[in-house]
Structure 1
Amino acid sequence: MKKIAFFDIDGTMVNVPNGMLHPSDETQQVIKKFQEQGNYIVVATARTQIPESVRNINFDGYICSDGHYIEFHGETLINNVFTDDEIDMQLQVYEAHNGSCALGGYSGNWVSSHSDPYLKQHHAIYSGSDDLSHIPLVSHCAGEIKANSIAAVFSSAEDLFAAKAKLPEKWAINAYGDDVDIRMDVHLEGFSKGTACEYLYNHLNIDKHNTYAFGDGHNDIEMLQLVGTGIAMGNASDVVKASADAITDTVDNNGIAKAFKKYLAIDY
Structure 2
Amino acid sequence: MDTKIAFFDIDGTLVNVPNGLMHPTNQTIHALNEFKNQGHKIVIATARGEVPQSVQDIEFDGYICSDGHYIRFEGEILIDELFNNQQVQKQLDIYQKYNGRSMFYGHNGEWCSCLDDELVVKHREMFQGTSERPQNVYEKFDAKDIEAVSCCVLFDNAEDMWSAYHELENEFTMVPYETGLIRMDVYCKGFTKGTACEYLYKKLGIEYENTYAFGDGINDVEMLQLVQHGIAMGNAIDELKKVASEITDTVDHDGIAKTFEKYFEIPVEEGR
Instruction: Report the TM-score range of the alignment, normalised by the length of the smaller protein.
Output: over 0.9
Helix, strand or coil for the counterpart of 2:124? helix
Post-superposition shift, 1:141?
6.3
Post-superposition shift, 1:167?
1.0
Helix, strand or coil for the counterpart of 1:231? strand
* Matching residue of 1:219: 219
For residue 118 of structure 1, what is the amino acid of its counterpart?
A: L
Contact 1:65 1:105 in 2 (8 A): no
Give the length in aligned residue pairs: 267
Residues in 2 aligned to 1:5 and 1:128: alpha-carbon distance in whole angstroms: 26
1:156 and 2:157 correspond: yes
* CA 1:61–1:225: 2 relative to 1, 3 Å: same
Post-superposition shift, 1:133?
4.3
Q: 5+ unaligned residues in a row in structure 2: which ranges? A: none
Residues in 1 aligned to 2:134 and 2:33: alpha-carbon distance in whole angstroms: 36
Residues in 1 aligned to 2:28 and 2:134: alpha-carbon distance in whole angstroms: 33
Helix, strand or coil for the counterpart of 2:167? coil
* Matching residue of 1:261: 261
Helix, strand or coil for the counterpart of 1:224? helix
Residues in 2 aligned to 1:117 and 1:59: alpha-carbon distance in whole angstroms: 34
Post-superposition shift, 1:138?
4.9
For residues 183-262 of structure 1, the aligned pairs below 5 Å read 183-262=183-262
Post-superposition shift, 1:135?
4.2
Post-superposition shift, 1:142?
5.1
Contact 1:99 1:154 in 2 (8 A): yes
Residues in 2 aligned to 1:141 and 1:28: alpha-carbon distance in whole angstroms: 42
Post-superposition shift, 1:128?
0.8
Post-superposition shift, 1:139?
2.7
Q: 5+ unaligned residues in a row in structure 1: which ranges? A: none
* CA 1:24–1:133: 2 relative to 1, 3 Å: closer
With normalisation by structure 1, the TM-score equals 0.95
Identity %: 49
* Matching residue of 2:104: 103
For residue 251 of structure 1, what is the amino acid of its counterpart?
A: V
- RMSD of the TM alignment (CA)? 1.4
Post-superposition shift, 1:90?
0.9
Greater mean alpha carbon deviation, residues 156-165 or residues 195-204: 156-165
Contact 1:69 1:106 in 2 (8 A): no
Post-superposition shift, 1:33?
0.3
Greater mean alpha carbon deviation, residues 25-34 or residues 229-238: 229-238
Contact 2:248 2:259 in 1 (8 A): yes
* Matching residue of 1:34: 35
* CA 1:135–1:101: 2 relative to 1, 3 Å: farther
Residues in 2 aligned to 1:181 and 1:25: alpha-carbon distance in whole angstroms: 30
Greater mean alpha carbon deviation, residues 91-100 or residues 240-249: 91-100
Contact 1:235 1:251 in 2 (8 A): yes
Residues in 2 aligned to 1:132 and 1:140: alpha-carbon distance in whole angstroms: 18
Residues in 2 aligned to 1:77 and 1:109: alpha-carbon distance in whole angstroms: 22
* Matching residue of 2:128: 127
Contact 1:111 1:135 in 2 (8 A): no
Residues in 2 aligned to 1:34 and 1:66: alpha-carbon distance in whole angstroms: 24
Contact 1:104 1:149 in 2 (8 A): yes
* CA 1:133–1:249: 2 relative to 1, 3 Å: closer
* Matching residue of 1:147: 148
* Matching residue of 2:16: 15
Contact 1:67 1:192 in 2 (8 A): yes
Contact 2:224 2:243 in 1 (8 A): yes
Post-superposition shift, 1:130?
2.3
Post-superposition shift, 1:145?
2.5
Residues in 2 aligned to 1:62 and 1:133: alpha-carbon distance in whole angstroms: 24
Helix, strand or coil for the counterpart of 2:152? strand
Residues in 2 aligned to 1:133 and 1:234: alpha-carbon distance in whole angstroms: 32
Contact 1:13 1:22 in 2 (8 A): yes
